[in-house]
Structure 1
């Protein structure tokens, strides 16, 4: 697909500095799971992407990262054109081949079908970015593990019940697993595979 110039938007206002700041934010939320961080280094995002999602792609994707998009994003010319222009990342149709998978909360792939890495190279797994309707530190999930002194509360709105159950169960396969970023507006957080997730109770688990 050719890049359509009328769909292109500007990337970072200060590419070097902003990319470093967003990369640091990504490292912070991945090393301190459930921490909410604001990123505000772009004036706009392609239609269909939140600003935090767009900023993560600008900072983390490059010509060597294979990217899978959920169906609505894959059909969005503005998203495709800007990813190709700014990141030059190859797009793949099979999410099992992706280094990064970017999905809307309503179009989540099965975690089991992503690349979980191998015993020899667990780091060669798919990283999943999910755009969700809301993030908050409200009590909903209780997180524990590396990077969390005691416990931390996190609520991610809009996730299907089956996906939440699959995400919680996936911790049993460590060191294999899927690291996840969660994006909403200018906010982002992360849940690496090392983070244990405990729902408060079954009744509260539905958003």
Structure 2
């Protein structure tokens, strides 16, 4: 096992994990709100926020699909060592998936839950160049009036919302920033 595999986890695991969990939950509870998420130093191409999110939410019961450039030896070994999460080689088996937007497509390959068990769906972690409060107008639970967030494909995310209560949930990460878009959020052009 390479030395880099052993590095990059939480320095103070209980405290760092608690802070990261709170930021992840705040982001999901308040769609469009950009949170700062740090604590991990993962290998490239994972951003700090994406690595911290994976350390916080993934474990041996959450298969992770690595898409595109994120499916590399350094990320596979780091994820296995720090979380114990198995790799989901088929998108249909993923609880989490991570990559850039184009590498994660098509969204129809991921589980969206069932009418009886809508919680049996995937959460996609979309790595972005930046996150800004622009481009898309968000409304729905957790948003007082409306929020704005830069999103990669408004039409695809609007179609995902139409599947509610089924559908995918999303985290968007860039550097040390994180925002979330649950399936319950309505997405419109700004």
**Would the aligned equivalents of 2:97 and 2:104 in 1 still touch at CA under 8 Å?**
no
The alignment partner of 2:103 has SS state of coil
Deviates more, 1:98-107 or 1:12-21: 98-107
Runs of 4+ in 1 over 3 A off after TM superposition: none
The answer to whether residue 180 in structure 2 is matched with residue 185 in structure 1 is no
Determine which structure has more spread, i.e. the larger CA radius of gyration: 1
The Cα of 1:78 is off from its aligned counterpart by 1.1
The Cα of 1:128 is off from its aligned counterpart by 0.6
Q: Distance in 1 between matches of 2:97 and 2:39?
A: 22
Q: Distance in 2 between matches of 1:108 and 1:199?
A: 22
Compute the TM-score of the two structures, normalised by the length of structure 2. 0.95
What RMSD over aligned residues (CA atoms) do the two structures have, in Å? 1.2
The Cα of 1:92 is off from its aligned counterpart by 1.5
Compute the TM-score of the two structures, normalised by the length of structure 1. 0.88
The answer to whether residue 80 in structure 2 is matched with residue 84 in structure 1 is yes
Q: Distance in 2 between matches of 1:77 and 1:127?
A: 22
The corresponding residue for 1:102 is 98
The answer to whether residue 25 in structure 2 is matched with residue 27 in structure 1 is yes
The alignment partner of 2:86 has SS state of coil
Can you list the C-alpha shifts for 1:113-135, whole angstroms capped at 9, x where unaligned? Answer: 11000111101100111101110
The corresponding residue for 1:68 is 65
The alignment partner of 1:198 has SS state of strand
The Cα of 1:108 is off from its aligned counterpart by 2.0
The Cα of 1:24 is off from its aligned counterpart by 0.8
The alignment partner of 1:166 has SS state of helix
Structure 1: runs of 5 or more not aligned? 201-207
The corresponding residue for 2:10 is 12
**Would the aligned equivalents of 1:37 and 1:189 in 2 still touch at CA under 8 Å?**
yes
Number of positions where the alignment pairs a residue of Structure 1 with one of Structure 2: 189
The answer to whether residue 147 in structure 2 is matched with residue 152 in structure 1 is yes
The Cα of 1:177 is off from its aligned counterpart by 0.6
The alignment partner of 1:22 has SS state of helix
